[in-house]
Amino acid sequence: MDFRARLEALSELLGPWSELWSRSILQNWPESGAAYPDSWMSYAESLDETGERRLDQGELPGDPPASLRALLRALHPLTGLPWHQGVHGLTTAEAQGLNAKKLHEIERVLALLAPRTRAIRQAVDIGGGMGHLARLCVRTFDWTFHSIDRDAALQEKGRDWLRRDRSLPRDKLGFLHASVEDGPQSELDPFFRGRDRASIGLHTCGPLALTQIRKSQDAGFLLNVGCCYDKLDAARDYPVSRFGEAHRLPFTRYALALATRERHHKSEAEFALMKRVYAHRFAFELLARREFPEHGFVRAGDAPRALYARSFAVYARNRLERLGLETGMTDAGLEAFEVSVRPETRRLLLCHLLRDRFSRALEVVLLLDRAILLEEMGFQVELLQVFDPRLSPRNIALIARA
């Protein structure tokens, strides 16, 4: 794959639409809504609930405007990445202690590693927890493996597991209680150096993925699956490659949060819940603007899921109490307000459904930039989809070989 050509093409497509994907819709409402073409909004407003759900799934039901159809059609091949198909099946004994998500991930990671790591003799896992991946790599590849984690309790569980597993060589698996950080770390850095060393980080949170890449410049192999892009610093952590710098997009914290959005298809019930959550949140913000204009944007915060099943009045009173705000409105008044703003809250929802069409492209831009950085370091690089996004939404693996 030509990462540079793909990043350049994506940057050219996304740049003109940055007003849509780089800003918060709700915080900048109604100005943010004005950035959406009238033809896009008219189309979205024409959809029934089934059409809204199909739009949420990335489809364009009905008769979409030519500009929207052309944009998504151009983005599709640029955001599509090849799939790694292999699965290394685990026995019942080997899978002991793994939940469904972890089992799914490890079976695919082992299959991915097997043909690419024949020269590897030692490995290190960042955020290795109890060391499940480590022990299975030791068993499968006979590597010497060090699992790094800052959670001492998880590591102690891993050590206990190792003590009870008589079939696993004790000298092959070690636990390091530490945080992997930028800058010199004399106790950790040697584990990342050497062409016979593999550096593995599954779901490294935010900037930890970039720390792993920098730590692994002298390793023979790197596997990274990033996550939590919303914890990146847009000014510091993007772009990281020289080529990316020449094709920089105006990433903001809102764009990073958008890149982190889950994209698996929702069931009818899941979609209905999403709409209800949005409706309550949007109506509450419009209420707060009217009742408490001096506070500016009011963050309602995440509420218990059960609260969204209650009436808007119950939800609003819970949020007001949490924020230390009082209003003289009765429950009937709160309900009447929510009904009165439904046309506006639906427009907010539709803007979100349209804005979400950019989420995959933004994630791919971040990963292409990292892939190019590794190429600039001299690695041979792959980007592959590995996990089922219904189980593991951040499913793209960055693979580098010296």
From first CA to last CA, the distance across the chain in angstroms is: 17
336 pLDDT exceeds 90?
A: yes
- Nearest-angstrom CA–CA distance, 133 and 274: 34
Q: Is the dihedral of CA 185, 190, 195, 197 positive or negative?
A: negative
CA angle 381, 145, 185 (to 5 degrees): 80
| Angle made by CA atoms 251, 257, 208, in degrees to the nearest 5 | 85
Under DSSP, is residue 117 helix (H, G, I), strand (E, B) or coil?
coil
Task: Assign 156 a pLDDT band (cuts: 50, 70, 90).
Answer: very high
213-254 tens-digit pLDDT: 999 999 999 999 999 999 999 999 999 999 999 999 999 999
Q: Is residue 16 reached through a cis peptide bond, with omega within 30 degrees of 0 on the bond before it? A: no
What pLDDT, on a 0 to 100 scale, did the predictor assign at position 191? 95
Over residues 107-136, the pLDDT tens digits come to 999 999 999 999 999 999 999 999 999 999
Report residue 215 as tokens: 């730590």
Question: What rounded mean pLDDT belongs to the chain?
Answer: 95
Beta bridge partners of 396: 385
CB atoms closer than 10 angstroms to residue 155: 20
DSSP class of 174: E
pLDDT band at 168 (very low <50, low <70, confident <90, very high): confident
HSE toward the beta carbon, residue 282, CA cutoff 13 A: 27
> In angstroms, rounded to a whole number, what is the distance separating the alpha carbons of residues 296 and 289?
7
> Closest Cα to residue 314, out of 287, 298, 334?
334
Three-state DSSP state, 367: helix
Q: What is the pLDDT of residues 62-118, one digit of tens each?
A: 999 999 999 999 999 999 999 999 999 999 989 988 999 999 999 999 999 999 999
**pLDDT exceeds 90 at position 169:** no
- pLDDT higher than 90, residue 165: no
Lookup: tokens for 401: 């070989």
Cβ contacts of residue 28 below 8 Å, gap of 6+? none
- Is 129 within 8 Å of 99 (Cβ atoms)? no
Query: What is residue 171's predicted lDDT score, i.e. its pLDDT?
Result: 86
**Alpha-carbon distance 289 to 376, whole Å?**
49
Give 121's DSSP letter: -
At residue 26, the pLDDT reads: 96
- pLDDT reported for residue 164: 84
> Quick one: DSSP state of residue 96?
T
The pLDDT of residue 262 is above 80: no
Residue with tokens 């590597």: 143
Give the strands of the sheet with 173-177, arranged side by side: 173-177, 144-149, 122-126, 194-205, 219-227, 396-401, 380-385
Structural contact between residues 312 and 335, judged by C-beta atoms closer than 8 angstroms:
yes
The 8-class DSSP code of residue 318 comes to H
Residue-wise pLDDT for 306-330, tens only, equals 999 999 999 999 999 999 999 999 9
The pLDDT tens digits of the residues spanning 351-382 come to 999 999 999 999 999 999 999 999 999 999 99
User: What confidence category does residue 264 fall into, taking pLDDT thresholds of 50, 70 and 90?
Assistant: confident
Q: Give the pair of three-digit tokens for residue 374.
A: 């590794």
